[in-house]
Chains A and B, each alone.
Chain A
Amino acid sequence: MKAVILAAGKGTNLSPITTTRPLPMIGLAGSTLFDNTLDLLKKSGINDVFVVVGHQKEKLIARINDNNRNGLNLHYIIQSKNEAIGRAVLQAKSKISPGEYFLLIYGDTITSENLFAKAQQSFHTFKCPIASICLPPSNEMFGNVFLNAQMKITQIIEKPKGDNLGNYVLSGAFVLPESFFSLLEKNGRNMEKALKSLVAEGNLMASMWEDGWLDIVYPWHILEANKMLMDSWNESSIAKSAVLEANVTIQGVAHIAEGAVIKAGAVLEGPCSIGEGSYIGNNSLIRSYTSLGANCSVGYGVELKNCVILDRTRVGRLSFIGDSVLGENVDFGAGSMTVNRNLDWTPITVKIGNQNVSSGLTKLGAFVGDNVVVGAGNMIKPGTSVAPGKILPACYSVTD
């Protein structure tokens, strides 16, 4: 079966991390969301994958062109304008033959097990169009897919009003026939309407997903997705060329990539991942759910906890980064901290666009874009987003 991945969206709510990269290229658990999706597709028997690219497309195209690793046939389709989902789906029209069914995937969801295999299995069972559904982890994501006892979808309400509806939602994977494209065209290229007309024809069955599932919408979901992937790890790995000095302690599952250097006295509490060529200074504490990208440098006595740090970022000595996401090539000055809780333990809010959105989390640090310079001695307030390239001056208590 061919798969079509929608990866053109801007992921606006995930700025500053998505300002400079497409959402699927966000680093997670020593990999990326995109690579994770490809691995699952391969394991589910998929051979041909078409990726609809748009926002920051060069980065995805480079990744696609560079793919010889997992044996999938990867192709990209460029969506020139930032448009709705229905139009993105239509981009793949010429790739699917009449009568053929294909797997459609939203590129911004992550699962703990193989959702794609499950969707294909449901297709194998029902031999008709399939929508994967799941119960979302929080009320905010509730939608309402109505089912009859035979698993046929009888109604879809994407964003219910009021708080009396809370049921299964579409989980971003479908098995659809080629004729769905004309259904889209008939319905003003509107995905929701096209799905509803499939439902009206009595021709959409559900594939119920019960394992972990997350729609990555807000920046803190990056941390949750990272955790979901790391929780599935069972084995540690230390690359041959990695150097671990004396008194390095590793507890739990850790992945240490080629060329990493871990200096004496460092403690790694798994699950955590240290990227290729990264350096961990003496007496650092790398706590669980830390994903450190490639060629990063972590100075003496730094504490990292539940954080995603992308490639080539440097963290100066005696700093603390917790419950935070740092982009690529960030220069995080010595003695700086991401403060990660409010004094009164109230949930931390994050400014998303012009709105303050509650994360529901009592511990949350900062979201720092690519190429940011954080001067020494800064204390970053919980829930702060720092735009790419911004320079935060150092904080001195004595200047003369």
Chain B
Amino acid sequence: MCGISGVVGLRNVTDMLFEGILSLEYRGYDSCGVALMKRNKLTIKKNVGGVEEFFRKENILSHKSKIGLAHTRWATHGKVTRDNTHPFISADKKFAVVHNGIISNHRALRDQLEREGFKFESETDSEVIPHLLEKFYRQEKDVEEALVKTLNLLEGTFALAFITEYQPGSIFCAKRESPLMLGIGDEFKFIGSDFNAFVEYTRNAVIIDDGEYAIISRDAYIVKNYFTRMEVEKPITKIDWDSETSKKGGYPHYMLKEIYEQPQTISNALELLDGPLDELAELISASNRVYLVGVGSTFYVAKFGTYAFSTYAGEFFPAVSSDEFTALASLDQNSLALAISQSGETFDTLTALKFAKSQKSKTAAIVNVMGSSIARLVDQFVMQGSGPEISVISTKAALTQMTLMLLLALKLGLKKERISKAKYKEHINSLREAPEIIHSVLNERSGFIHRVASRYAKSKHWLYLGRGVYFPIALESALKMKEVAYVHAEGMPGGFLKHGTLALIDDDIFSIVFIPPKADKALYESTIHCVEEIRARSGFVLGIHFDERGKNRNLFSEELILPPVPPILAPIIQLVIGQLFAYFTATTLKRTVDRPRFLAKSVTVG
């Protein structure tokens, strides 16, 4: 078992040769070698050891060549020595050959060649090939003819490739049973034992079949059958590998990757508690009117903030959508506009903040991008430290911002003595559990969410209902559904149902209800009441709740059950479910998850 890689192209190829052969190291390795062509003269380097070690020791990357072959060997015939390492050269040093497979009649061929005066340097079966090529080239004065003659003598299995001074711009290769394929790039052509050898450079592969040989040069390739000598028309196989897989850390989409990063981003947010958040709480406390400003997801973060400050700090801070800010806000030097923006470049939010500044108001912001316009504009900012959010759909940034709202509210509550030190500590400790809980929900419940999402993916209309702090959770979850799955989803406070919306309930309207833990008794009961109102009209309800399984047997059409969590965390955990529900609906509907239509990562236009 060996690996073969080869490149021919417009400029130096040694770096590509290195990447290619390194990607084939999994095929086994005990020694490694390369053949290069410098000013039409062959250069051979080979040694025992792994690919990286070999390239470093022999300083291969310092060589420049527009064509090259590399080989990683796992010994089958002959010991692991430098002499037995590929490439092998012909006696006249004009052919350099790499080979994978076993030439079963090599003894007979070798005896014959030795009788004819060819000297062998190795114990391998492979070395007969360069000598045969030389022998037939002498007769035919044509490389291709020599190759075909050689191939017709070889028994056993092979994927072989060679370069030669007689035709220095071409790689010749052939296959019987051992794997070989071509990679067809614009400026470079490749050969390899499999896609790994060239997938970084081209997605167009030609799979060589048994009994075929190919000649490739910088601009062209031709595949022929070595019995019939006829050209074979080969289909191009598109390698549908995702070029961003490594950047996505192996996840199918950035959105899912970023959902899985939330335990980490919340941990990062918790580290801001002493220091940055203290200063911001100080500023908030010194202002007599505070607006929470955001747009899209960050408006829902702001709305969540309104509930958080009201619950834990006894303060009412209205959430204002950035684009409505100039129409609504009344500002002076004692007011504060606290903006939330992932990118720090959001046009509407930037406009709102400029307006606030023009009114002499204080400004502050929570952002995720250092040096962004908003960060530079405001009097004070907190970097949320969630790492780059690549998916256009915001998940980790928004969830972390909500966590920051809770932390700020608790800080302010403590400062203003609206909550006791003991309560503060208890809540902070609960929040410290969030990363672990989110991690276990992701690891234990995804299948349930996926099953429900894929079963109802064809539903055209969803109502997302929540009361109290679950209302902004419903809004944000519904926005995810709209953004990524292009499904109509409307977030609404549970109380709105009886004010008209119930008239919509029929077979085509599906509802999701975010149900608080039972400990939150009044809110729990009033939310359950919403569910009953819909069920009384035979509507479909998906309940997301913290109760035991089957306890509400006839209450829900479907349910997603969460483990018991501290009450302060409940809405945060519910949002994770909302995110995954939208994600799995989108993947079921085969949406372009990370790049949904009509949406840009940071909306920098007005």
Contact = CB atoms under 8 A, between A and B. Distances in A.
Given A97-B74, A151-B251, A125 B181 contact: no
B29 interface: yes
6 closest Cβ contacts across the A-B interface?
A: A47-B179, A166-B447, A99-B28, A135-B450, A97-B1, A101-B26
Interface in B430-450: 442-448, 450
B447 A206 contact: no
Interface in B220-248: 237, 239-242, 245-246
Contact of B447 (A98, A135, A147): A135
A168 B445 CA distance: 9
A71 interface: yes
A100 B209 CA distance: 23
Nearest to B50: A99
Interface stretch (A137-145, A337-345, A384-392): A137-145
A243 interface: no
B251 A208 contact: yes
Interface stretch (B194-202, B277-285, B470-478): B194-202
A218 interface: no
Interface string A100-136: 1100000000000010010011111111000000011
Interface stretch (B58-66, B128-136, B256-264): B256-264
Contacts of B240: 114, 117
Interface in A237-291: none
Interface residues of A, number: 52
Contact of B245 (A46, A100, A121, A163): A121
B249 interface: yes
Contacts of A117: 239-241
B196 A124 contact: yes
Given A100-B74, A124-B23, A167 B447 contact: yes
B563 interface: yes
A398 interface: no
A139 B451 contact: yes
Given A100-B27, A135-B446, A138-B451, 19 more contacts: A43-B237, A44-B195, A45-B207, A46-B194, A73-B210, A99-B74, A101-B26, A101-B27, A122-B245, A122-B250, A125-B250, A139-B451, A149-B249, A150-B249, A164-B549, A167-B445, A167-B446, A206-B250, A210-B252
26 contacts: A1-B26, A1-B27, A45-B179, A71-B209, A73-B177, A97-B28, A97-B76, A98-B28, A99-B30, A100-B1, A121-B245, A122-B245, A124-B195, A124-B245, A125-B250, A127-B26, A147-B442, A149-B263, A150-B250, A166-B445, A166-B446, A166-B447, A166-B448, A168-B446, A205-B250, A206-B250
A126 B251 CA distance: 12
Interface string A134-177: 01111100101011011100000000000111111100000001
B587 interface: yes
Contact of A147 (B178, B239, B260): B260
A42 interface: yes
B51 to A, nearest CB: 12
B205 interface: yes
Interface in B289-333: none
A224 B1 CA distance: 39
A120 B23 CA distance: 11
A121 B443 CA distance: 23
B454 interface: yes
A174 to B, nearest CB: 14
A143 to B, nearest CB: 9
B559 to A, nearest CB: 11
Nearest to B24: A1
Contact of B195 (A45, A97, A135): A45
Contacts of B445: 166-167
Contacts of B260: 147, 149
A101 B242 CA distance: 21
B292 to A, nearest CB: 30
Nearest to B195: A45
B195 A166 contact: no
B260 to A, nearest CB: 5
Contact of A45 (B181, B252, B454): B181
